């Protein structure tokens, strides 16, 4: 037999997990027509779950390094915003937002692909010949 206090502890533990719902992130996408120089912004919004949440952004699986052109900002308890002020070839990648709370975590990703880079290189190389 499990001692009654251990059973009570277990129930408390399980119900506290159940009370704080694990987060779920709504899907987000970068615009398909994203030309070099444009501003790109996506929102990672938690649709289910209980705050407080911790938001973490990754690019290609690595923790996102914020620089002058790349920033993330927590808008409210449920939302974090990623802004790339001027997309360029180096902005291409798979961006992931991870949200966690005491009950669990979720992550969603979106691929950013800048248009016009290949075209630009093509014209540049043609010009050089």
Ligand X SMILES: *[C@@H]1O[C@H](CO)[C@@H](O)[C@H](O)[C@H]1NC(C)=O
User: Can you give the binding site for ligand X, defined by CB under 6 A?
Assistant: 61, 94, 96, 109, 111
Nearest-approach distance from CB 125 to ligand X, in angstroms: 28
Nearest-approach distance from CB 94 to ligand X, in angstroms: 4
Nearest-approach distance from CB 7 to ligand X, in angstroms: 39
- Other C-beta atoms lying within 10 Å of the C-beta of residue 51: 13
Nearer to ligand X, 20 or 22 (CB): 22
Nearest-approach distance from CB 87 to ligand X, in angstroms: 17
Q: Specify burial of residue 106 (Cβ count, 10 A radius: 0-12, 13-18, 19+).
A: buried
Nearer to ligand X, 33 or 62 (CB): 62
Exposure string over 68-97, b if 16+ CB within 10 A, otherwise e: eebeeeeeeebbbbbebeebeeebebebbb
Nearer to ligand X, 43 or 120 (CB): 43
Nearer to ligand X, 37 or 90 (CB): 90
CB of 48 within 8 A of CB of 20? no
């Amino acid at each position: 037999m499990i001692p009654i206090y251990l059973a009570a502890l277990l129930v408390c533990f399980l119900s506290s997990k159940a009370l704080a719902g694990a987060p779920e992130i709504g899907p987000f996408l970068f615009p398909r027509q994203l030309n070099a120089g444009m501003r790109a912004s996506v929102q990672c919004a938690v649709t289910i779950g209980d705050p407080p949440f911790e938001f973490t952004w990754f690019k290609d699986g690595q923790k996102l390094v914020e620089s002058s052109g790349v920033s993330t900002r927590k808008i409210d308890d449920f939302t974090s915003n990623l802004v790339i002020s001027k997309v360029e070839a180096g902005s291409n990648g798979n961006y992931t937002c991870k949200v966690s709370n005491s009950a669990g975590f979720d992550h969603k990703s979106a691929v950013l692909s800048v248009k016009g880079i290949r075209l630009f290189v093509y014209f540049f190389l043609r010009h050089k010949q």
